[in-house]
Amino acid sequence: MTIPVISENNFPRARFGPSYLSVIMKKIFKWPTSVIDCERLEGDASDRSYFRITLKSDAGQKNVRSLVIMQLKKPVLGEEIDFIRILKFLRELDIPAPELFYYDISKGLLFIEDCGTMTLEDQLNAFPQEKAQLYYQAVELLVHMQSRATYSIDSTCPAYHLKFDVEKLMWEFSFMLDHYVDEFCGSPLESLARKELREAFTPLCESLAAEKLCFTHRDYHSRNLMFNQGRLVLIDFQDARMGPCQYDLVSLLRDSYVEIDDALTEELVDFYIRLKEKEEGREVDREKFGQIFDEMSIQRNLKAIGTFAYQSVKKNNNRYKNFIAPTLNYVRKTLRRRFKDTFLQKVLLKYIPGLDGNEAFNL
């Protein structure tokens, strides 16, 4: 069997080579291969690395199989990692998530099902005329995931022990101030300014933390939904925790990577509420739901801005830099619509660069 040598220049962080892959692939698929190709994939804003492994048999191009290797930052010895525990939890509930074929604990390598090359974002770019249909599908999957997971969750699932409390929500806000305002924008905040910001933002976080707890994916957006054979598949769910049901809906409809117009957003929120009412057999207070949705939007979008800035200033990764401006725009529009002339709006506009929409501010 001929296996091309994997170039260390192309895969500098891979903790595996051709001989290792040959053994593992035979163990997983149990059929002979003549060629094993390895392609490094563009990862997310984490320390994980991803590789697509493609196998071709002696019979030719028709017999091709593939999987994805998720390489952890470093091996984690001992108990199962959160990704695997949550993956098992979701698959037991018949929620579409990749199959785990093999886990090499010593090397920190997970061999998982290849769910294709198209994310929801890719599908939207390729077929913009299907935007509404695809988002209705994503909302329906979200409600199914939330209702089944929230009903079934227990202490064996890592998300059960984590929640969006005031401390966590405020920590994410401070993270944004540190990395976006102080470092990315070069506008260090004095202690009195931080005190005023905390006074303005804490009530919002207290309101969110008081909501009924729901299982949240925590990163449910167009880049973490794979479009595979006509269905959407969840990925990147290892940071799931309990929080307001609006959290994931905000992640989907206030997505930094894909803009959705206000009319479609309203339709999708209404669709979500109607599905939720059907699942739970009770009416949803739409005014209260909208209030929490907007509060969650401000917190979630500011958190995303902090992550984008962190990647730029700490990781020298500018892939996310261009998404800061549209995310700021979400916050600006929500403040104008829901929190016009409030203490929260005035303080955020005062201290967060670019939030006022000033064209002279150049990201």
Q: Can you give the pTM of this predicted structure?
A: 0.92
What pLDDT band is residue 62 in, cutting at 50, 70 and 90? Answer: low
Q: What pLDDT score does 42 carry?
A: 78
Beta strands in the chain (DSSP E): 35-41, 49-57, 60-71, 100-104, 109-113, 214-216, 225-228, 231-234, 241-243
pLDDT at 33: 64
Q: For the chain, what percent of residues have pLDDT higher than 90?
A: 79
Spell out the residues 6+ positions from residue 110 whose beta carbon is closer than 8 angstroms to its own.
69, 70, 71, 72, 83, 84, 100, 102, 103, 104
Q: Over range 31-59, report the average pLDDT.
A: 78
Assess contact for 196 and 128: CB atoms under 8 A: no
Residue 26 has pLDDT above 80, yes or no: yes
Output the pLDDT for position 34.
67
Domains of the chain and CATH, by start:
18-113 (3.30.200), 120-351 (3.90.1200.10)
Q: Which helix (H) or strand (E) is 208 found in, with range?
A: helix 191-209
User: What's the confidence (pLDDT) of residue 240?
Assistant: 98
pLDDT at 6: 40
Q: What is the pLDDT of residue 4?
A: 39
Lowest-pLDDT range of 59-73, 221-235, 240-254, 305-319: 59-73
Is residue 202 scored above 50 in pLDDT? yes
Give the tokens for residue 208: 């969110």
- At residue 108, the pLDDT reads 95
Answer whether residue 10 shows pLDDT above 60. no
Distances (CA, A) of 355 to 152, 198, 325, 327, 345: 40, 17, 9, 10, 10
Q: Which of 70-79, 265-274, 336-345 has the lowest mean pLDDT?
A: 70-79
User: How many residues can be counted in the chain?
Assistant: 363
Give strand pairing partners of 214. 243
* List of residues 6+ apart from 89 with CB closer than 8 A: 149, 152, 153, 156, 157, 159
**Residue range 176-193, pLDDT digits in tens:** 999 999 999 999 999 999
Q: Give the tens place of pLDDT for each residue, 255-267.
A: 999 999 999 999 9
Longest dimension (CA), the chain: 71
Going by C-beta distance under 8 Å and a sequence separation of 6 or more, which residues neighbour residue 125?
Answer: none
Q: For residue 7, what pLDDT band results from cuts at 50, 70 and 90?
A: very low
Given pLDDT bands bounded at 50, 70 and 90, which one contains residue 144? very high
Task: Identify the bridge partners of residue 67 per DSSP, sorted by sequence position.
Answer: 53, 113
What separation in angstroms does the CA of 206 have from each of 217, 287, 295, 333?
21, 18, 10, 22
Q: What is the SS3 assignment for 23? A: helix
Q: What's the pLDDT score for residue 109?
A: 96
Query: What is the average pLDDT score of the chain?
Result: 91
- Number of helices and strands in the chain (H, E): 11, 9
CA distance 105 to 79: 10
Q: b or e along 270-298 (b: 16 or more beta carbons within 10 Å of the residue's beta carbon)? A: eebbebbeeeeeeeeeeeebeebbbbbbb
Looking at the predicted structure, is the pLDDT value of residue 166 above 60? Answer: yes
Q: Say whether pLDDT at 31 is over 80.
A: no
Q: Token digits for 337?
A: 């619509």
- For 267, counting Cβ atoms within 10 Å of its Cβ (0-12 exposed, 13-18 middle, 19+ buried), the class is middle
> For residue 324, which of 135, 192, 180, 127 has the smallest C-alpha distance?
180
pLDDT at 318 over 60: yes
Region 120-128: what's the mean pLDDT? 97
CB contact at 8 A, 347 and 197: yes
Q: Where are the alpha helices (DSSP H) in 35-105?
A: 82-92
Lookup result for tokens 């939904």: 225
The whole-number pLDDT of residue 308 equals 97
Higher-scoring residue by pLDDT: 347, 7: 347
Higher pLDDT, 45 or 299: 299
193 Cα distance to chain centroid = 31
User: With pLDDT > 70 as the criterion, what percentage of the chain qualifies?
Assistant: 91
Question: In a 3-state reduction of DSSP, which class is residue 56?
Answer: strand
pLDDT at 125: 96
Distances (CA, A) of 181 to 130, 177, 308, 335, 359: 38, 5, 12, 18, 17
pLDDT digits over 265-313, tens only? Answer: 999 999 999 999 999 999 999 999 999 999 999 999 999 999 999 999 9
Q: What is the pLDDT of residue 78?
A: 84
